[in-house]
């Protein structure tokens, strides 16, 4: 391989946007570990890790576009990191009884949609069919992150009142409803393409 080309590939792999994505993935085991350690301090650490990871979710995409450092590796890893982070957070919040009752259904809806969309996105990518990210999808992501932050914070500041819990649960259900709506966008595109292909055959 040409040395200049090799160096260029190395720079793309280790550019700042990709490093931020790697950091988000590495933070997930540390985030999960905090739930197995007792005390409010570790809950604050979990909250800090989640906030930092959420900020890098915005930064890596913004910097990649602003600095023209977009790469296939980054495009693949970024949504994977997002889904792993949200999935791990929801599972741990259910496991420690922060998310309880009917709200568990909202968490299951969100997790199920992420699995469905991951499969559909991979399938559509093989067919060179893309589904653009809509504003509703961005609102969905904001609602998810807001819900998780509120639910991480609730036991620390709201032990006897219900306000923070209510905010977290409300955002969780909002995210679940938006999740269903945006999930149908991917499903509609996939089914439409398959019907068109069948009609051709």
pLDDT in tens, 182-198: 878 777 777 777 676 66
Q: At residue 2, does pLDDT exceed 90?
A: no
What is the three-state SS of the chain? Answer: CCHHHHHHHHHHHCCHHHHHHHHHHHHHHHHHHHCCCCCHHHHHHHHHHHHHHHHHHHHHHHHHHHCCCCCHHHHHHHHHHHHHHHHHHHHHHHHCCCCCCCHHHHHHHHHHHHHHHHHHHHHHHHCCCCCCCCHHHHHHHHHHHHHHHHHHHHHHHCCCCCHHHHHHHHHHHHHHHHHHHHHHHHHHHHHHHHHHHHHHC
Residues of the chain with CATH 1.20.120.1760: 1-96
CATH class name, domain 1-96: mainly alpha
The predicted-structure confidence for 67-121, as pLDDT tens digits, reads as follows: 677 777 777 788 888 889 999 999 999 999 999 999 999 999 999 988 887 777 7
């Amino acid at each position: 391989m040409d040395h200049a080309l090799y160096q260029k590939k190395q720079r793309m792999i280790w550019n700042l946007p990709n490093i931020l994505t790697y950091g988000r993935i590495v933070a997930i085991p540390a985030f999960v570990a905090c739930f197995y350690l007792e005390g409010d301090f570790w809950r604050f650490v979990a909250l800090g890790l989640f906030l930092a990871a959420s900020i890098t979710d915005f930064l890596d995409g913004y910097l990649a576009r602003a600095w023209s450092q977009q790469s296939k590796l980054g495009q693949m890893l970024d949504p994977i990191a997002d889904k792993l982070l949200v999935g791990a957070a929801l599972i741990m919040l259910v496991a420690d009884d922060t998310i309880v009752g009917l709200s568990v259904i909202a968490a299951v809806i969100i997790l199920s949609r992420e699995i469905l969309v991951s499969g559909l996105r991979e399938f559509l990518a093989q067919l060179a069919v893309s589904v653009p990210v809509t504003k509703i999808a961005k609102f969905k992501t904001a609602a998810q992150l807001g819900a998780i932050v509120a639910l991480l914070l609730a036991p620390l500041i709201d032990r006897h009142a219900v306000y923070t819990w209510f905010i977290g649960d409300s955002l969780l259900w909002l995210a679940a409803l938006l999740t269903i709506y945006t999930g149908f966008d991917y499903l509609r595109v996939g089914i439409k393409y398959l019907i068109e292909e069948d009609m051709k055959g």
